[in-house]
C-alpha cells in the first residue's frame, strides 16, 4: 500500500506559483496531486473538500492568499491592500465554519497592515515568511497535542475516531490521530475503531486509509455502530478533532460527533476533543452561535452510489457539522495543555 504519510497534505511550490495538495476526494483509490495556480482553483479545492481539516485549510489559505498577493501587479500600497482584501474575502467564503480559515487569512492581513511603510515587494516577502511559519506551527502544534493526548491513554486501549483529524487534515501527525501515531511508534498497541463518517465518508476513505498505511490496527465501522462498541467495553476513549471551539467549550465538529459524545457519556467512556488553540474562537460565546454550513443534498442521495439511493425529490437535511455541548466533553487537548471543566475559565487561562 502507498504510504500516504510520505506525502505533504499541503505544500507551496513558490517557483511555479502553485499550491500543491493531495486531492482527498480521490482517496483511497487514487493518489492525485494537484497544482493549483488560480484563486478560483484554490477556493473550489477548499469548498469541494479536496483539501479539508481545519489546520490544513488554514495552511492552504495562508499559501493561497500569499499567491494572490504575489500576483497583484502594483507598487501602490492602497491599490495592493484593496486587491488583497478582495482576494481574502473570496477565499474566506469557501468554508464559513472552519475558524482556521479566517484565522489564517486575518493573520496574513495583519502582515500587510503592519508593514505598509516597507513597500509592496517587501510585504510580499513577509507574507511568504508568515505562510511558511503558519505551516511549521501547525506541525509543532500537532506533535504537542499528541504528547499531551498520549498521557490520557494506556497501552492496549481501544479508541474510537470520527471523520478525519489525521495527517490528511493537517501538515503532519494530525490532531486526534497524533496520540495514536505517537503511541504506535512507542509500542502502545492501540486498536482503533474508525467511524465511516457519513455522508462524505472521511473516516472510511481517509482515516482508515492513513492508519493502515502507518501499520496501526484499525477496524472500520458504520457511524451507528459506535455505541455497541462502547457497550461491549471495546473502547476506552473517543478522540475527535474539531473545527471550532466556542468560549464556553462547546465544540463544532463533523456531523455525527454529537451522538458519539452522548453515547460515551452513557457508557462512561472518556470523550476527548483535540483542538489547536487557533481553533478556539473567543468571539463565539457558545455553540449555538456557530454558523453551521449546509451542503448539497446530492451528497446524501447520490454521492458514492452507482445509482440514486433515495426517492427522487425527497427533502434532505445535510448539515456539515454538529455542536457537542461542553458538558459532554471530558477534556479538550490543546498544544498548550489539557483543559478540563469549567472550560470558560480553562480557555481564558491558556488564551
| CATH superfamily ID and name for 4-142 | translation initiation factor eif-2b, domain 1 (1.20.120.420)
Q: What are 63-114's pLDDT values in tens digits?
A: 999 999 999 999 999 999 999 999 999 999 998 767 789 999 999 999 999 9
Residue 50 backbone dihedrals phi, psi, to 5 degrees: -70, -35
Chain Cα centroid distance, residue 328: 21
Amino acid 95: pLDDT = 87
- 123: cell is 510585504
Sites in the chain below the pLDDT cut of 50:
none
Collapsed DSSP state (helix, strand, coil) of residue 65:
helix
DSSP string of 102-129, one letter each residue: HHHHHHHHHHHHHTGGG-HHHHHHHHHH
Q: Is 281 a catalytic site residue?
A: no
Question: Which listed residue (157, 195, 223, 243) is catalytic?
Answer: 243
Q: What is the pLDDT of residue 3?
A: 75
For the domain spanning 147-350, the CATH number is 3.40.50.10470
CA 101, 104, 109, 110 dihedral sign is: positive
Domain pair 4-142 / 147-350, same fold: no
| Predicted pLDDT at 1 | 53
Label the pairing between strands 271-274 and 331-334.
parallel
Q: Where are the domains of the chain?
A: 4-142, 147-350
Is 0.75 topped by the overall pTM? Answer: yes
Amino acid at each position: 500500500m502507498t504510504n500516504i504519510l510520505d506525502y505533504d497534505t499541503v505544500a507551496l511550490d513558490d517557483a511555479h506559483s502553485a499550491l500543491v495538495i493531495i486531492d482527498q476526494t480521490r482517496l483511497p483509490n487514487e493518489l492525485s496531486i494537484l497544482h493549483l495556480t488560480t484563486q478560483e482553483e484554490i477556493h473550489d479545492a477548499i469548498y469541494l473538500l479536496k483539501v479539508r481539516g481545519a489546520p490544513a485549510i488554514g495552511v492552504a489559505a495562508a499559501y493561497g492568499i500569499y499567491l494572490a498577493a504575489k500576483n497583484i501587479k502594483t507598487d501602490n500600497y492602497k491599490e495592493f491592500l484593496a486587491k488583497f482584501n478582495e482576494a481574502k474575502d473570496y477565499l474566506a467564503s469557501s468554508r464559513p465554519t472552519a475558524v482556521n480559515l479566517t484565522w489564517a487569512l486575518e493573520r496574513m492581513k495583519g502582515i500587510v497592515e503592519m508593514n505598509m511603510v516597507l513597500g509592496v515587494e517587501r510585504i510580499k516577502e513577509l507574507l511568504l515568511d508568515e505562510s511558511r511559519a503558519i505551516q511549521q506551527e501547525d506541525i509543532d502544534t500537532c506533535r504537542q497535542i499528541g504528547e499531551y493526548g498520549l498521557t490520557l491513554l494506556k497501552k492496549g486501549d481501544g479508541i474510537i475516531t470520527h471523520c478525519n483529524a489525521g495527517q490528511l487534515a493537517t501538515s503532519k501527525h494530525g490532531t486526534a490521530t497524533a496520540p495514536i501515531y505517537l503511541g504506535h511508534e512507542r509500542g502502545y498497541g492501540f486498536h482503533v475503531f474508525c467511524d465511516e463518517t457519513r455522508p462524505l465518508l472521511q473516516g472510511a476513505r481517509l482515516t482508515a486509509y492513513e492508519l493502515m498505511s502507518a501499520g496501526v490496527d484499525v477496524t472500520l465501522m458504520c457511524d451507528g455502530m459506535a455505541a455497541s462498541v462502547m457497550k461491549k467495553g471495546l473502547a476506552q476513549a473517543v478522540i475527535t478533532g474539531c473545527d471550532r471551539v466556542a468560549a464556553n467549550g462547546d465544540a463544532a465538529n463533523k456531523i455525527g460527533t454529537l451522538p458519539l459524545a452522548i453515547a460515551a457519556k452513557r457508557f462512561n467512556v472518556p470523550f476527548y476533543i483535540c483542538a489547536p488553540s487557533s481553533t478556539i474562537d473567543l468571539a463565539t460565546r457558545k455553540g449555538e452561535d456557530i454558523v453551521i454550513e449546509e451542503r448539497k443534498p446530492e451528497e446524501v442521495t447520490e454521492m458514492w452510489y452507482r445509482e440514486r439511493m433515495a426517492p427522487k425529490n425527497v427533502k434532505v437535511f445535510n448539515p456539515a457539522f454538529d455542536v457537542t455541548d461542553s458538558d459532554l466533553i471530558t477534556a479538550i487537548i490543546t498544544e498548550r495543555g489539557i483543559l478540563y471543566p469549567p472550560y470558560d475559565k480553562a480557555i481564558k487561562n491558556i488564551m
